[in-house]
Amino acid sequence: MSKQWMRVAMLVVAGQFCAQATVPAHVSATGVYTDGREVAPPDGSSPPPSRFGEVVRSFPTPTGYATGIAWDGNALFVADGVAYGVIWRLDATDGTVLGSYDIGILKLRGLAMGGGFLWVASWDTESIYKLRPSDGRILDSFEAPFPGKPDGIAWDGLNLWVGEETESDAGSIHRIDPATGTILDSIVAPSGCCFNPRGLAWTPSGIWAGYQSIGRIYKVDPANGGSLGWISAPSGAYQQGVSYDGQYLWSTGGDNMVYQIDIGKPVSVETTPWGAIKARYRE
């Protein structure tokens, strides 16, 4: 072999070695996946953009009809909305039951964690209850300050947001003082959309509201109720509660399933009077 061809062969081998050495050892040829979501591409580059609206994981619930859902920082609370007043605490990885209690109130709807308490709405009494999360003891309550049925609940860091279900296409969402039960502000559902905001979740970019009537989960502007987008509800026409864990949206419904949904992660956030609600997402 001539010296020129030997030099070419050595460069080819060296190039192949360098290319292999730049790929992290933990990255497979097909990428690395966690719960069905690619977290590391084959070339070892940055993770791909968020798969907006896709279900990351799901598991069945132990309830007869799963309604409200809330994230407590470590696990999920899920309410039974039909025959019992049971609230379950579930492992967020696989739905394993970590505990439960019966609060003695029927037809539970929205759930939310806020201020160190668990908040729950009931259709049976048309009231909102403040619970001790550890054992479900009722610490306080107030009647819903509107004529419709209380639905989803969210906590914005200071106040509650409670959905009102009516028999017309005009379901409202109210910002309520948790100490007095009085309405501070109200917004109307996206025009021509919905009358039953069964689940609410506060996020850095707006309020997510799950509507059973059309099987969608809308993101709405808390300043005026305008639509900021929507995703199809995994539970479809059985859509009930929604919650947010700081990264993912959680949803549940009458199909007795819990769904973890990818809604992206903001790369910049603008602070507003009610908290960080305007965010720019990675394209």
Tell me, yes or no, whether 219 lies in a domain.
Answer: yes
Within 10 angstroms of residue 147's Cβ, the number of other Cβ atoms is 8
Q: Tell me which residue of 209, 98, 218 sits closest to 164, measured CA to CA.
A: 209
Residue 119's identity, in one-letter code, is W
Tokens 């084959």 belong to 42
Q: Domains in the chain: how many in total?
A: 2
Whether the pLDDT of residue 259 is over 80: the answer is yes
**Residue 135 sits in the same domain as residue 22:** no
**Residue 112 sits in the same domain as residue 211:** yes
Query: What is residue 142's predicted lDDT score, i.e. its pLDDT?
Result: 97
- pLDDT confidence tier of residue 92, bands split at 50, 70 and 90: very high
**Residue 139 sits in the same domain as residue 189:** yes
The whole-angstrom distance between residue 16's C-alpha and the CA centroid of its chain comes to 45
**Residue 131 sits in the same domain as residue 27:** no
- pLDDT confidence tier of residue 44, bands split at 50, 70 and 90: very low
**Residue 203 sits in the same domain as residue 100:** yes
**Rounded distance between C-alpha atoms, residue 149 and residue 109, angstroms:** 10
User: Which range of residues forms the domain containing residue 27?
Assistant: 3-40
Q: What is the largest CA-CA distance in the chain?
A: 93
Query: What is residue 212's predicted lDDT score, i.e. its pLDDT?
Result: 87
**Residue 174 sits in the same domain as residue 222:** yes
Whether the pLDDT of residue 41 is over 60: the answer is no
- pLDDT confidence tier of residue 279, bands split at 50, 70 and 90: low
**Residue 139 sits in the same domain as residue 24:** no
Question: For 229-249, what is the mean pLDDT?
Answer: 92
- pLDDT confidence tier of residue 32, bands split at 50, 70 and 90: very low
Contact predicate 80/66, CB 8 Å: yes
Whether the pLDDT of residue 240 is over 90: the answer is yes
**Residue 215 sits in the same domain as residue 272:** yes
**Residue 25 sits in the same domain as residue 65:** no
Give percent of the chain above pLDDT 90. 53
Question: The pTM is what?
Answer: 0.78
**Rounded distance between C-alpha atoms, residue 101 and residue 94, angstroms:** 20
Which of the 8 DSSP states describes residue 277? E
DSSP-based three-state secondary structure for 172: strand
Query: What is residue 167's predicted lDDT score, i.e. its pLDDT?
Result: 75
Tell me, yes or no, whether 50 lies in a domain.
Answer: no
